[in-house]
Structure 1
Amino acid sequence: MKIMIMRHGEAEATALSDGQRPLTEEGINEVTQVAELVAEEYVVSKIIASPLLRAQQTASLMATGLNLPAVDTLTELAPEHKPESVLKALASEEAEVLLLVSHMPLVDQLAGWLLEGSRMSPIAFPTATVAVLHTDHLAAGVAELERVFLAPS
């Protein structure tokens, strides 16, 4: 199984609530470019995103770029959750290539948890970054880093 962990694109600094912060034009461009890069190398089976607006917008742009019809939502991908709760929620997931769209600090913690069994990730996650991990099990410290996609500058 490949797990792609993605941080949402650049978002507006303020909104009525944190959950309603939309992507900026730059964020839309970042995500669109990263979707093109990912599509050149991978066939994504499924996208699951945080319920927050910026993650939903990012996931929708990725779905368009990857020719996927829909995006699923998982509450555990909201930024206040822990990697263990994400892995528990995904325990029965069978997608071959799964793209998770979330936020800091969760993307960092989730990558660290899967790669090293620690919440400290060896990967930097600027906006619109996608880390591709390969794993046979959704467990701490068993994944291997395969590739990192960054938005072109």
Structure 2
Amino acid sequence: MEKQVYLIRHGIAIDRALSEEDATRPLTEKGRKKNEKVAKKLKDIGINFDIILTSPLLRATQTADILEKEGLTKTLETFSPLAPNGNIEDWLNWWEENAPETVALVGHEPNLGNWSELLIWGEIKGKLVVKKAGIIGLNCPQDLSPFGNSELFLLTSPKWLLSQ
């Protein structure tokens, strides 16, 4: 039995130079609108999450809120290991304890790409990049460690997803 993990990068945020603190950088209007379109498209194609875990940084929580408001989940939680430089082991411990069928992780680059590579290949290769508002989908085995044993089934930019 496999479970699905969707790694979703936050939308376009205001420039770092315009914010005193990285953690409080909000989505731009363009970023918010693009996330709303992506969320609607995900809903239209029948994607639903048992839970969304989000980085505590504002741009990620705003992205997760948009996904929740579109009806993609009934459960949304802030999860500090999704902040930049978070530890995948912390998520893995949570995942093994909670075992949802489908989970969305809303976070940042390079973490999301690196975590995906660890789950697929068991090592970071620096080859997978998640665009802003982009998504990676993985099938992760339930009966053994997902590290190096997961299968990529989706890697999409918002531009491609919205053109379908």
1:152 aligns with 159
* Alpha-carbon distance between aligned partners in 1 of 2:40 and 2:61, rounded to the nearest angstrom: 18
Matched, 1:90 2:92: no
> Using a 3 Å threshold, how does the CA distance of structure 1 residues 149 and 93 change in structure 2: closer, same or farther?
farther
- Separation in 1, partners of 2:75, 2:58: 15
TM-score (norm 2): 0.85
Distance 1:92-1:19 versus aligned 2 partners, 3 A rule: same
- Structure exhibiting the larger radius of gyration computed from Cα positions: 2
Unaligned runs of 5+ in 2: none
Q: Deviations over 1:96-120 (max 9, x none)?
A: 1100001111111111111111123
Does the residue aligned with 1:91 lie in a helix, a strand or coil?
A: helix
Percent identical among aligned pairs is 27
Give the equivalent residue in structure 2 for 1:32: 36
Question: Would the alpha carbon gap of residues 80 and 6 (structure 1) be closer, same or farther in structure 2, given more than 3 Å must change?
Answer: same
Moved more, 104-113 or 134-143: 134-143
Encode CA deviations 1:45-88: one digit per residue, 9 max, x unaligned.
11010111111000000111234334101111111113233222
How far is 1:42 from its partner? 1.6
**1:11 matched to 2:24:** no
The code of the aligned residue for 2:146 comes to A
Check 1:73–1:144 CA distance in 2 against 1; reply closer, same or farther (3 A cut): same
Task: Tell me what 2:27 maps to.
Answer: 23
In 2, the alpha carbon distance for the partners of 1:117 and 1:30 equals 32
RMSD: 1.7
Change in 2 beyond 3 A, CA 1:86/1:68? closer
Instruction: Kindly report which structure 2 residues correspond to 1:1-153, keeping only aligned pairs within 5 A, or say none.
Output: 1-14=3-16, 15-39=19-43, 40-120=45-125, 122-137=127-142, 138-152=145-159
Query: Structure 1 residue 122: deviation in Å?
Result: 4.1
Q: Is the 8 A contact 1:115 1:143 kept in 2?
A: yes
| TM-score of the pair, normalised by structure 1 | 0.90
The answer to which structure has the higher helix fraction is 2
In the alignment, structure 1 segments of 5+ residues that lack a partner are none
